[in-house]
Amino acid sequence: MISRAHCNENQYIQALQHVLEEPNGGAKTLIIAHCDRRMIDSLTCALETQGALLLEIPQARWDFSSPEFADAMEWLLNRWPVESVILAGHSQAGWHAIRGRWIGTSDVEKREAASGYQRSIRGVQHLVAQTQEAQTQFAEHLRQMMQVPPLCHSLADRNMAVFGLLYRAEDGEFLSYTWQL
């Protein structure tokens, strides 16, 4: 059992407590989503008839292996009849790494010398590579989330369905991922 003191220290439980205090119309879906307003607005429109509990976590801070996250899922499943979990990621979240490098005059000259067409091709290639990387990272996040014991047990008992949605900011569409044991 999760103690009250632990609940007060756990940021996930605090957020879920706040959500459960609001009227929810019997929502039985938990959405764990990256905090992007456009993506969340799209999800809201799609789920307006059934409703859902929304837990917004910046994708760069997704750590499904943390004991706090596992405790929060156990806490929620003991208090609320969650029938499905949706992990909603964003194709342009999480790949802005902090890095440093020198830029010399030769770099500037190379950029100025490149034609507009070459720059466009490089830009498209870069975007495609980033999108592929985002899809791979998202699939890994979904896999990690499904290893959280309370979710894994509910899945194994067939009490819950899990889905992944990756919002592609490039075109405003969602890619769907399903989880199978």
Write out the residue range of the structural domain in which residue 151 sits: 4-93+104-178
- Give the number of other CB atoms < 10 A from CB of residue 162: 20
Asked, for residue 28, whether it belongs to a domain, the answer is yes
> CA of 83: how far to CAs of 27, 40, 97, 171, in Å?
9, 20, 35, 30
pLDDT band at 94 (very low <50, low <70, confident <90, very high): low
98 assigned to some structural domain: no
Alpha-carbon span 37 to 172, nearest angstrom: 12
- Structural domains in the chain (count): 1
pLDDT digits (tens, 9 = 90+) for 57-85: 888 888 999 999 999 999 999 988 889 99
pLDDT digit string, tens, across residues 17-62: 888 887 766 788 899 999 888 999 988 888 777 778 889 988 888 8
d(CA 78, CA 72): 10
Q: Has residue 96 got a pLDDT over 80? A: no
Could you tell me the pTM of the whole model? 0.77
| Average pLDDT, integer, range 83-88 | 92
Averaged pLDDT for residues 136-151 = 91
Whether 40 maps to a domain, the answer reads yes
pLDDT at 66: 92
Is the confidence at residue 160, as pLDDT, over 60?
yes
Strand order in the sheet with 173-178: 53-56, 29-33, 84-90, 161-168, 173-178
User: Strands 53-56 and 173-178, how do they pair?
Assistant: unpaired
What DSSP character marks residue 60?
Answer: G
Residue 99 counted as domain residue: no
Query: Is residue 70 included in any domain, yes or no?
Result: yes
CATH number of the domain bearing residue 112: 3.40.1050.10
